[in-house]
């Protein structure tokens, strides 16, 4: 009953082997100039079918904050969803790395940023420079923190609005693989072809040891980027660590296989939950995250029996979803390692305890 987070899983055997091989009896250049990292950037160019600049870091927060720092001045703002990881779960990282830029959540309680909500926000933002915050980047999570996936057209519509205001578009792709798998689309369709300037492409949550790529489709943003890496402590000397992982992850669409596995188990979980009495889905999701509503008592008992999942921010609920007295919202995440037997156990426990 392990549904705590996809970052609590291990790594895929192919990636583990790739790391082991890279470090065994081989001398390599350091600081990103190793042959693995160079090849991995080439592999990204193949996967995305375009020229691009890419860099590798050890965490999603590093990736997001460093990517955003190329788009905004310290006096600018970054528009994001009110549940965005960069807003709620990265401490003051964006402010540190950008030198003080502000996060501006879209004032709407919907599960995704909609063009309508973004447009209204842009019209109402104070506009008396230099007193106010000037929006200069839009950050979209794909798949997002509520398990939602944006279609290519949705990304395009948001990007269009952003670009009309002179804003860059950043994609937090900590679960980008899950989104591509869910949409069954080409990675280019929901990134550079849809107006995305930089993608933070997460491998960690999808079967890697620890590896995130910052992919610049707008290569002008990469100017001086090594300085940004270095000064934040993210220019790693034995950088083959990241290159080796990404090579293995991208090879033979291994990344999509891993994501499909995680998504498939999430789908299975949701289908099984829909048959339960005391537990219901809070809203539909398309990726490897599911959100359920259940009585606090049942939640506590499940945790007591060893289930891992997290009670979740109530503000992630759209306005039309209400909790009843004593109910709690919980997030369940599957990974490439999730087995059906864990779902069986969970369902059985719910049935046993929930009545």
Site for a second copy in 102-121 (CB under 8 A): 102-103
Nearer to a second copy, 105 or 354 (CB): 105
d(CA 333, CA 319): 23
The verdict on 59 binding a second copy (CB under 8 A) reads yes
* Min dist. Cβ of residue 100 to a second copy (A): 4
Residues 136-175 touching a second copy, rule: CB under 8 A, are none
As given in the structure block, the two tokens for residue 152 are 């290519």
Query: Quick one: which of 52, 106, 183, 209 contacts a second copy (CB under 8 A)?
Result: 209
Pairing of strands 327-333, 289-295: antiparallel
The verdict on 99 binding a second copy (CB under 8 A) reads: yes
Compare residues 260 and 342 and give the one whose CB is closer to a second copy.
Answer: 342
Of 219, 355, 339, nearest to 294 (Cα)? 355
Q: Token digits for 323?
A: 């909790």
Is residue 182 close enough to count as binding a second copy by CB under 8 A?
no
Selected binder of a second copy within 14, 16, 119, 295 (CB under 8 A): 16
Q: Which of 40, 47, 53, 93 binds a second copy (CB under 8 A)?
A: 93
Question: Tokens representing 270?
Answer: 């949701």
Whose tokens are 């402010």? That residue is 95
Q: Which is nearer to a second copy, 75 or 283 (CB)?
A: 75
- The token pair at 214 is 């910052």
Task: Mark the segment that binds a second copy (CB under 8 A) among 11-19, 148-156, 158-166, 249-257.
Answer: 11-19
Q: Which stretch binds a second copy (CB under 8 A): 52-60, 188-196, 249-257, 277-285?
A: 52-60
Options 234, 254, 270, 331; binder of a second copy; rule CB under 8 A = 234
d(CA 245, CA 210): 8
**Contact residue for a second copy among 41, 62, 294, 333 (CB under 8 A):** 62
170, 67 Cβ separation under 8 angstroms: yes
The reply to whether 206 sits near a second copy by the rule CB under 8 A is no
- Structure token digits, residue 235: 């220019």
Hunting for tokens 């109910």 — which residue is that?
327
Of 156 and 234, nearer to a second copy (C-beta) is: 234
> Residue 253: how many CB atoms within 10 A of its CB?
14
23 touches a second copy by CB under 8 A: yes
Query: What does the per-residue mask of binding to a second copy show for 254-293, with x meaning CB under 8 A?
Result: ----------------------------------------
Residues 6+ apart with CB under 8 A from 144: 81, 83, 84, 111, 112, 150
Rank residues 76 and 154 by Cβ distance to a second copy and give the closer one.
76
Site membership for a second copy, residue 213 (CB under 8 A): no
Q: Kindly tell me which residue out of 185, 188, 210, 303 binds a second copy, with binding defined by CB under 8 A.
A: 210
**Least distance (Å) from a second copy to the CB of residue 34?**
9
Contact letters (x/-) for a second copy, 306-335, by CB under 8 A? Answer: -------xxx--------------------
Residue from 129, 252, 319, 341 binding a second copy (CB under 8 A): 129
């Amino acid at each position: 009953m392990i549904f705590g987070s996809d970052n609590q899983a291990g790594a895929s055997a192919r990636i583990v082997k790739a790391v082991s091989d890279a470090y065994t009896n081989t001398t390599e250049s350091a600081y990103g100039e190793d042959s693995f990292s160079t090849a991995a950037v080439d592999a990204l160019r193949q996967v995305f079918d375009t020229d691009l600049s890419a860099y590798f870091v050890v965490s999603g927060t590093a990736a997001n904050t460093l990517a955003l720092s190329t788009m905004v001045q310290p006096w600018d703002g970054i528009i994001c969803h009110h549940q965005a990881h960069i807003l709620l779960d990265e401490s003051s990282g964006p402010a540190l790395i950008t030198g003080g830029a502000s996060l501006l959540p879209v004032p709407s309680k919907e599960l995704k940023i909609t063009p309508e909500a973004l447009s209204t926000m842009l019209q109402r933002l104070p506009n008396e420079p230099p007193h106010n915050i000037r929006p200069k980047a839009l950050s979209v999570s794909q798949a997002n923190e509520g398990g939602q996936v944006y279609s290519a057209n949705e990304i395009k519509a948001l990007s269009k609005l952003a670009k009309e205001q002179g804003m860059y578009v950043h994609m937090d792709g900590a679960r980008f693989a899950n989104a591509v798998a869910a949409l069954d689309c080409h990675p280019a369709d929901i990134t550079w072809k849809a107006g995305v300037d930089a993608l933070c492409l997460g491998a960690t949550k999808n079967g890697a040891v620890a590896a995130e790529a910052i992919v610049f489709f707008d290569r002008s943003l990469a100017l001086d980027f090594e300085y940004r890496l270095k000064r934040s402590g993210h220019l790693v000397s034995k950088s083959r660590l990241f290159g080796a992982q990404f090579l293995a992850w991208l090879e033979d669409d291994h990344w999509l296989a891993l994501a499909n596995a995680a998504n498939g188990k999430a789908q299975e979980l949701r289908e099984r939950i829909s048959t339960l009495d005391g537990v219901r889905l809070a809203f539909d999701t398309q990726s490897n995250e599911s959100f359920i509503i259940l009585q606090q008592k049942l939640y506590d008992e499940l945790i007591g029996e060893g289930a891992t999942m997290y009670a979740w921010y109530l503000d992630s609920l759209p306005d039309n979803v209400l909790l009843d007295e004593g109910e709690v919202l919980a997030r369940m995440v599957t990974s490439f390692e999730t087995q059906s037997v864990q779902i069986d156990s969970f369902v059985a426990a719910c049935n046993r305890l929930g009545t």
